[in-house]
Amino acid sequence: MIELEIPSDLGYGERGQSPAIPGNATLHFILELIKVGEDVKPVDHKHEGPDHPFGEASPPEDDKVPEGFTATASGLKYRVTKESQGRKPNAANTVKVHYRGKLTNGTVFDESYKRGAPTEFPLSGVIPGWTEGLQLVGEGGTIELIIPGRLGYPNGQPPQIPPNATLHFTVELLEVK
By CB neighbour count within 10 A (0-12 exposed, 13-18 middle, 19+ buried), where does 69 fall?
middle
Rounded to whole angstroms, the Cα distance separating 72 from 132 reads 9
Task: Give, in degrees to the nearest 5, the angle at Cα 78 between 76 and 80.
Answer: 155
Active site residue 113: no
Closest CA to 93 of 120, 113, 71: 120
Active site residue 109: yes
Catalytic residue among 21, 54, 69, 109: 109
Catalytic residue among 12, 78, 147, 153: 153
Active site residue 127: yes
Catalytic residue among 99, 143, 146, 161: 99
Catalytic residue among 12, 127, 143, 161: 127
Active site residue 153: yes
Active site residue 99: yes
Active site residue 51: no
Catalytic residue among 21, 54, 69, 110: 110
Q: Which residues, 6 or more positions from 171, have their beta carbon under 8 angstroms from its beta carbon?
A: 97, 98, 99, 130, 133, 134, 137, 142, 143, 144, 145
Q: Which residues are catalytic?
A: 99, 109-110, 127, 153, 169
